[in-house]
Amino acid sequence: MADNLIAAGQLHDPALAAALTAVPRHALVPHFYQQAPNRSWTRVDATDSSYYTTVYSNTTLVTALADLGAGIDEPVSSSSQPSLMIRMVEALDIRDGQRVLEIGTGTGYNAALLSHRLGETNVFSLDIDASLVAMAADRLAAIDYRPTLAVADGAAGLPEHAPFDAIIATCSVPAIPSVWIEQLTDGGTVLADVKVQNTAGNLVLLRRDGQRAVGRFATRYAAFMPLRHTVHATIPNATATAVAISHHRSAHHAVPERDTDALVLPTQQPLLWFLTALRLPVTVTFGYTIDPERREPSHVHLYAADGSTSHVTIAHDHDRHRVSETGPLRLWTHVEDAHRQWTQWGQPDWDRLGFTVDTTTHTQSLWLDEPENPIATLPR
């Protein structure tokens, strides 16, 4: 696996390559779950012929399931894709002797990599799920790694062991908890997945400078499960508020169909979906209808928590798509606003977007190109 990541240009630090080679992933992930097309899950362990090949592939492995209230099992913990973890640790640019806090212990695999790289006395990791922490501790000890593990709410950090030179969050958050910044050394870094709504956001790397932390979003998209405040529940994603954007409310529950030249497919255009989500006053989910012949979306659907919906028929032979909407919000108008603004900005990629956390004013802002050019604020 290490050789493959080096050959693919996804692993550069020799010290991390040594850690990846030394840490036996199978010892920390003795089983995982794979989902079938009918959404059922199958448990895979060492008795399956595909187990070792899959464990040592560059793949995210679902390791724990729970019914979160919908009557179906959903992933609540995983062993992240190794190349993503390597990319994140390399982005932190950690040095010998530095102390790192991981938010989200999970299987303990990343804690083992960090322990090999920095020494176990410099690694701290927490998780809300006591059973996961206990299993990780036992499995880590079995391969001679004993970092400091704690059962705690990740949003509070680990103040009793602060300050840290770096904090890495293997979960998504709707905004950066201020205490994470406060628990960093001055000049320390935090790397976290900011998702203002489901899938809407990306990794951001911030460096503390006094009472502020400033940085930019990663150039490549990544996604993690939301931070949990209880063992089996995920928190609703917060809604951000864009600067000077109206809500386009309507007293009518249905409006005539219309054409649009703005099309955003959330999974294919994550930055545009992020800019759209910043403008949405309610939580919105999305879905697709797939054309069986083309094997690509023929319709995109938005569903808001207040009952508003937007359904867009995608025109593959021209650029005028058909929109039908119901409910108090004109959801697709927000898509069009985001698309128009993105075009006016010169169609920026992630690297032109930045983020600032101010622990004095308790504000968090999104900016374009420079911190002095804010384009949105996040709720406290």
Catalytic residue among 77, 78, 79, 80: 80
Per the CB < 8 A criterion, the answer to whether 330 and 250 are in contact is yes
Write the CB contacts of 331 (distance below 8 Å, at least 6 apart in sequence): 280, 284, 302, 304, 308, 309, 310, 325
Listed residue (161, 197, 200) closest to 179, CA to CA: 161
Which three-class secondary structure state does DSSP give residue 95?
A: coil
244: alpha, beta or left? (left if phi > 0; alpha if psi -120 to 50): left
The residues near 292 (Cβ < 8 Å, ≥ 6 apart) are: none
Distance CA 348, CA 366 (A): 14
Phi and psi torsions of 373, nearest 5°: -120, 70
Active site residue 324: no
């006395």: which residue's tokens? 121
Q: What is the DSSP letter of 336?
A: H
Please give the C-alpha separations between residue 336 and each of 29, 119, 263, 301, 377, in angstroms, as whole numbers. 44, 50, 8, 15, 20
End-to-end CA distance of the chain: 41
Catalytic residues: 80
